Chains A and B, each alone.
Chain A
Amino acid sequence: NAGVTQTPKFQVLKTGQSMTLQCAQDMNHEYMSWYRQDPGMGLRLIHYSVGAGITDQGEVPNGYNVSRSTTEDFPLRLLSAAPSQTSVYFCASSDERGGRDTQYFGPGTRLTVL
């Protein structure tokens, strides 16, 4: 299994540009989440999904959209990039079935907005 994969690894955008961060998992997990990590602020939840077709907002959802059309994929869309969105973005997946609760993180995408 590849686990949780994210693309791209690095991205530089100009203010106002839009882009999609890709996240995929091959573990058939129900739950998927997007976090941003900024120095001194830990991991902040942007959006999460409890299954295909179901998404909800986390702590810092403004400026981001998500969709979950399949169990495997959970893309994060930046509608109009702003310098405040410069961060490292992690996608994660987990599953409660069978008593497994571990949240598995992808390798991250480092995004810089100029």
Chain B
Amino acid sequence: GENVEQHPSTLSVQEGDSAVIKCTYSDSASNYFPWYKQELGKRPQLIIDIRSNVGEKKDQRIAVTLNKTAKHFSLHITETQPEDSAVYFCAASRGGGGFKTIFGAGTRLFVKA
């Protein structure tokens, strides 16, 4: 079945440094790749997404890259701040939005002040 692997499971960075989280998906028909941020005790919230016809997308300090050939996509956070500390999930689906979305196991990001 479909699978999304996410690495690392834990990431600790100094405030101001960059953080990179990588994901690999197995279903070659996947065409939509969202990233969610979940703070402790809260619900996941979408922070950025990318479609298969785009190789890179940026929104302020956050960027996502996609390599469809290798079935890899990555989240890049620059100039990290303590409020970036949270669990980040990557996901993949064949349709947009919620159509059978498969999530990675998550990365717990700690940003040390």
Residues of A within 8 A of B101 (CB): 33, 45, 103
Q: Do A43 and B44 touch across chains, with their CB atoms under 8 A apart?
A: yes
Of B45, B89, B97, B100, which one neighbours A42 at CB under 8 angstroms? B89
Q: How far is the CA of A101 from the CA of B32 in the complex (A)?
A: 9
Q: Using Cβ atoms and an 8 Å threshold, which residues of chain A touch B89?
A: 42-43
Query: Does chain B have a CB within 8 A of A81?
Result: no
Nearest Cβ on chain A to B16's Cβ, whole angstroms: 28
Task: Evaluate contact between A40 and B98: CB separation under 8 angstroms.
Answer: no
> A106 to B98, alpha carbons, bound, how many Å?
13
A32 to B98, CA, bound (A): 7
A45 to chain B, nearest CB (A): 7
Report whether B105 and A31 are in contact in the complex, using a CB–CB cutoff of 8 Å. no
Residues of A within 8 A of B43 (CB): 90, 105-108
Which of under 10, 10 to 19, 20 to 34, or 35 or more describes the interface residues of A?
20 to 34
In the docked arrangement, what's the CA distance between A35 and B104, Å?
A: 13
CB distance from A97 to the nearest CB of B (A): 10
Q: How far is the CA of A90 from the CA of B45 in the complex (A)?
A: 12
Contact call A105/B45, Cβ cutoff below 8 A: yes
- B6 contacts A92, CB within 8 Å? no
- Cβ contact within 8 Å between B100 and A48: yes
In contact, B98 and A31 (Cβ under 8 angstroms): yes
The answer to whether A92 and B98 touch across the interface, beta carbons within 8 angstroms, is: yes
When distances are taken between beta carbons in the complex, the residues of chain A under 8 Å from B91 are 43
Interface 0/1 of A9-40, CB less than 8 Å to B: 00000000000000000000001110100001
Chain B residues engaging chain A, CB cutoff 8 angstroms: 1, 6, 9, 32, 34, 43-46, 49, 89, 91, 95-106
